[in-house]
Amino acid sequence: MEAVDLIRSLQDARARTLAVVSDLSDEQLMGPRLRIVNPLRWEIAHVAWFQERWVHRHLRRREPLHAGIDTLYDSTAVPHDTRWDLPLYPRDKTLRYMQDVLDRTVDALSKGELDRRSLYFHLLVLFHEDMHDEAFSYTRQTLNYPAPTFERAAPSPSPGGRVSGDASIRGGTLLLGGTPTMEFVFDNEKWAHPVEVRPFRIARAATTCGEFAAFIEDRGYERRELWSEAGLAWREKEGAKNPVYWRSAGRGWEVRSFDRWEPLRDRLPVIHVNWFEAEAYCRWAKRRLPTEAEWELAAGGLEKRTYPWGDAAPDGTRANLDGFAMGCVEVDALPAGDTPEGVRQMMGNVWEWVRDDFGPFPGFSPDPYREYSQPWFGDHKVLRGGCWCSRGRLIRNSWRNFYTPDRRDVWAGFRTCELA
């Protein structure tokens, strides 16, 4: 990547950050104290702090722009529950700080050589901001705020014939994970290692709202035999009877998208369901979740394609990414993004839970940002493939996302496999 391209991407990420919060009031920027979200005024400043921390203070050995800023915006040092109580910068100072850090970054890139080490840290802060931008979107959903607006118009998804049934995936020795030839690899992807995968059959499409509604109507949330012990404990604690943003509407369902309730659309992928709900649905349907290795094999093949369709970068004809559609498209859309076996939308639209716990690959060693992966091994589950507001420059077949199995606020759904 050339410096000019990196500058353009960093400016694009910052523009997205500002676009996702610019219409919110000062009160909305703080929001209620919830376990699953941050105050947005804290979080946007944290994004700039992270850039300053790794690009200017670590890489360029500069002093902090503001004394004491670590006590406010260092996520590893500032407990989540205290972030509403801190003397955070007011809105105007926050925006000035964000602009100052970006300006210094652009200036340094314009004047200096971009070697492999400096490229790593610039990409780290770019992708960190991209991930937070996605989090800002689901925070708005969680808090019942209006949908954000982005400048670029949404591409019209290419229609496809109705997708149903399973695709057969031949087994073999998969190199699971990232490779040194990739421009950037997170530590939890390191390194590609051989995994034997038996032949299996995987759904050509993600599980739909209509399919999940059938599970509910067959008393899926009430039948104890469909739930694991941990899932049952979660269900009873939460009193869950349907997905978090669904409500009964006569003989059907309505689904909340940001601040608007809309009739359920059968062919949209089910979204905002957690791992326990996905597991229970699979037991009801006499199916199962794919393993992480199976998912990556179905998406990339034994030849390790970068994306499901090949190595060409994502665009609006292949995947619903980058947020411009402002939500999911039907599971039948975007046939140009199919794998060679005809599996659709493995990239974008909705994150997909897989069976595995999130853990290290053999020989794991944390990267300089040690808190990215290692603290979360063991009690999180893996998701793959990205969602409608994931950035296309971030997602690839080997990219691993991870959340605790009780999380329903993220843009997550699933697809199923035939029982072996």
What is the per-residue DSSP string for 62-120? PPPSSTTTHHHH-TTTS-GGGTTTS-PPPHHHHHHHHHHHHHHHHHHHHHS---HHHHH
Q: Beta strand 193-197 with 172-176: parallel, antiparallel or unpaired?
A: antiparallel
In this predicted structure, what is the pLDDT of residue 157? Answer: 77
C-alpha dihedral over 73, 77, 81, 84, to 10 degrees? Answer: -20
In this predicted structure, what is the pLDDT of residue 159? Answer: 81
Q: How far is CA 229 from CA 49, 179, 226, 232, 381, in A?
A: 41, 38, 10, 5, 16
Query: What's the rounded Cα separation, in Å, for the pair 183 and 181?
Result: 6
Q: Beta strand 401-403 with 287-288: parallel, antiparallel or unpaired?
A: unpaired
- Kindly list the structural domains of the chain, giving each domain's residue range(s) and its CATH number in brackets, ordered by start: 3-142 (1.20.120), 155-420 (3.90.1580.10)
Query: What's the rounded Cα separation, in Å, for the pair 330 and 333?
Result: 6
Q: What is the token pair recorded at 232?
A: 């049952």
Task: Work out the burial of residue 312: count CB atoms within 10 Å of its CB; fewer than 13 is exposed, 13-18 middle, 19 or more buried.
Answer: exposed
Q: What is the pLDDT along the chain (420 residues), one digit of tens a residue?
A: 899 999 999 999 999 999 999 999 999 999 999 999 999 999 999 999 999 999 999 999 999 999 999 999 999 999 999 999 999 999 999 999 999 999 999 999 998 778 999 999 999 999 999 999 999 999 999 999 999 987 766 667 778 889 999 999 999 999 999 999 999 999 999 999 999 999 999 999 999 999 999 999 999 999 999 999 999 999 999 999 999 999 999 889 999 999 999 999 999 999 999 999 999 999 999 999 999 999 999 999 999 999 999 999 999 999 999 998 999 999 999 999 999 999 999 999 999 999 999 999 999 999 999 999 999 999 999 999 999 999 999 999 999 999 999 999 999 999 999 998
Q: Beta strand 287-288 with 417-418: parallel, antiparallel or unpaired?
A: antiparallel
Cis peptide before 191 (omega within 30 of 0): yes
- pTM (predicted TM-score): 0.97
* Contact between residue 21 and residue 139 where contact means Cβ atoms under 8 Å apart: no
